[in-house]
Amino acid sequence: MRTTSFKLSRFIGPVSFYKYAFSLAIPLGITNLLAISMGALDTLMISWIHQVSAVGTATQIEVIALNVVWACAAGTGIYAIQFFGAGDYKNLKRCFGLSISCAAFVGILTYGIITLFSASILHFYIQNDEVIWNGCQYLRIAKYAYILMSFQLSFSVIYRNLGKPFYPFVIGMITFLMKMLWNVLLIFGYAGFPKLGIIGAPLASCIAHSIALAVNIILAYKTKQPFVGQIREMFSYDLALIRRILPRIRPLLLNEILFGFGNTLFVKAFGFLGIEAMNAYYIGAKIGDLFFAVANGFSDSISSIIGISLGQGKLKEAGQQSMYLISMAIGLCLGAVILITCFSPFLVSLFEVQSTSVLNNAIWIVRIFALRIGMRFFIVIIFGTLRTGGDTKALMFLDSGLMYMVGLSIAFGSILVFHVQSIVLVFLLCQTEYVLRILFGMMRYRKGLWKTNLVS
């Protein structure tokens, strides 16, 4: 009995630790929620003009592009956190400069790909001429917004890494309110503005993210953030530093490319089940994404807490902190499952759904997302800890590796081989991937290879 009590006590931290963790996780979660809500806002308003599949399919390009930008920001952020913890602001600025450079490259590359190949890309996911045409109209404007969003993501990630969640929270709130206002004005043509329909949504994104990026730049310099400085300080690429960072970025970058593309392949698989199945999935996924944002805010707080301890050389303390976070995840897991399951019918009812089968399927997909998000709270502890300690190769296997070997294999196999026609059943079977991710992830976590100071 004593042994059990001792073991359990290792996972229960002091109240002060949980207050600190929540002081980071809550604003970060809300910030992520606001960012994801902009996509959900598009889907909600677009559902009122019956263009859910067009926008949902078109934004698969956004998923891949922003995943790549996030990988670059997170990869440089591994070192940025530890440089910040060690008080090395010179290299902190260089890390941020490298992140901004990567964001510019990915944003411009995405613009070029959409300009040249948008119709071909959409045709890969769905064979419906009307959906493809409307999706291309959306992307014609959205490609400009993706460049702005790439820069904004770099700022957001660095603030989170340094344990400064207030700034991205405020900017996220401004962006969301601007997006909501311009969506209403441009999609539906209120207050004398032209009624632009589907292209009103990406145009609203361009306006909102332009304002947000300007606020980000001004705020960073006005508050004298340690990651910004003169141009030559941020963009004087030190080859020795780049050689240190690249081995950590490469697995993350490859993982996010594979993971982002893999996520879009689920859309390809579900597309074989028809437009109604796609509409149900897009609605359910957008609602699920709102709660994923909260889990990802938890992940960002983990990276900040553990990364700073590792940068200060407090390896034992970082290990203890990760154990405290496990108990925190249990409560969040149970709360998320109960909350999402209870409110799923109400959340789906907010969308304009004409088909009863789409409505019912969307409700069940949201309920499955409840289980998925519950498991996500455990996964973000594992992933956040491994990533902060630089164990990015193991992370690639746990993330994109299991997605392709398990999740996508089940999705395509159940539809094309076993001819399962229920989107709900297929999506439920795909959650096997998450169960295995927890099991294998805990095995890697317990080895303790992530307890590494990368900057000393």
Q: What is the DSSP string of 186-245?
A: HHH--TT----GGGHHHHHHHHHHHHHHHHHHHHHHHTT-TT---HHHHH---HHHHHHH
Indicate the pTM of the whole model.
0.72
> Residue 303 above 70 pLDDT?
no
pLDDT in tens, 206-251: 999 999 999 999 999 999 999 998 988 888 877 777 887 787 778 7
Q: Which own/partner contact pairs does 176-182 have at CB distance under 8 Å and 24+ positions apart?
A: 176/34, 176/35, 176/37, 176/38, 176/41, 176/208, 178/204, 178/207, 178/208, 178/211, 178/212, 179/38, 179/41, 179/204, 179/205, 179/208, 180/41, 182/207, 182/208
Spatial separation of the C-alpha atoms in residues 323 and 317, rounded to whole Å: 10
Range name among 121-125, 201-205, 218-222, 376-380 with the lowest pLDDT average: 376-380
**What's the rounded mean pLDDT across residues 128-154?**
90
Question: Cα separation of 441 and 421, whole Å?
Answer: 32
Burial of 440 (0-12, 13-18, 19+ CB in 10 A): middle
What pLDDT is attached to residue 172? 86
pLDDT of 428 above 50: yes
Query: For 15-40, how does the pLDDT look when each residue is reduced to its tens digit (9 = 90+)?
Result: 777 787 777 777 777 777 777 777 77
Asked whether 121 and 132 are in contact (CB, 8 A), the reply is no
CA distance 449 to 395: 12
Residue 164 corresponds to which tokens in the numbers above?
A: 């400064």
- Position 408 scores a pLDDT of 95
User: Residue 401 pLDDT > 70, yes or no?
Assistant: yes
Domain ranges of the chain: 10-447
The whole-number pLDDT of residue 455 equals 59
Kindly state the average pLDDT of the residues 98-121.
Answer: 91
Most confidently predicted of 83-87, 121-125, 363-367: 363-367
Tell me what pLDDT residue 211 has.
94
Place of tokens 């060690």: 86
Average pLDDT estimate for 355-360: 87
What is the average pLDDT across 283-305?
Answer: 76
- The average pLDDT across 316-329 equals 76
At 237 the pLDDT is 75
Angle (CA) 56 57 63, round 5°: 80
Residue 175: pLDDT over 80: yes
Could you give the 3-state DSSP secondary structure of residue 355? coil
CA diameter of the chain: 72
| Mean pLDDT score, 105-112 | 92
CA distance to 35, 139, 209, per residue, from 46 (Å): 17, 14, 19
Question: In percent, how much of the chain has pLDDT > 70?
Answer: 93
Name the 3-class secondary structure at 272. coil
In the chain, % of residues over pLDDT 90: 25
List, in sequence order, every beta strand (DSSP E) within 71-175: none
- Predicted pLDDT at 407: 94
Inform me whether the pLDDT recorded for 456 exceeds 70: no
Please tell me the predicted confidence (pLDDT) of residue 433.
94
Query: What pLDDT is attached to residue 4?
Result: 42
For the chain, the first-to-last Cα distance in angstroms comes to 42
Residue predicted with more confidence, 152 or 394: 152
Report d(CA 305, CA 298) in Å as an integer: 11
More confident residue, 321 or 180: 180
User: pLDDT tens digit string along 309-319?
Assistant: 776 777 777 77
Q: How confident is the model at residue 116 (pLDDT cuts 50, 70, 90)?
A: very high
pLDDT tens per residue across span 44-63: 787 777 777 788 778 888 87
Q: What is the pLDDT of residues 404-422, one digit of tens each?
A: 999 999 999 999 999 999 9
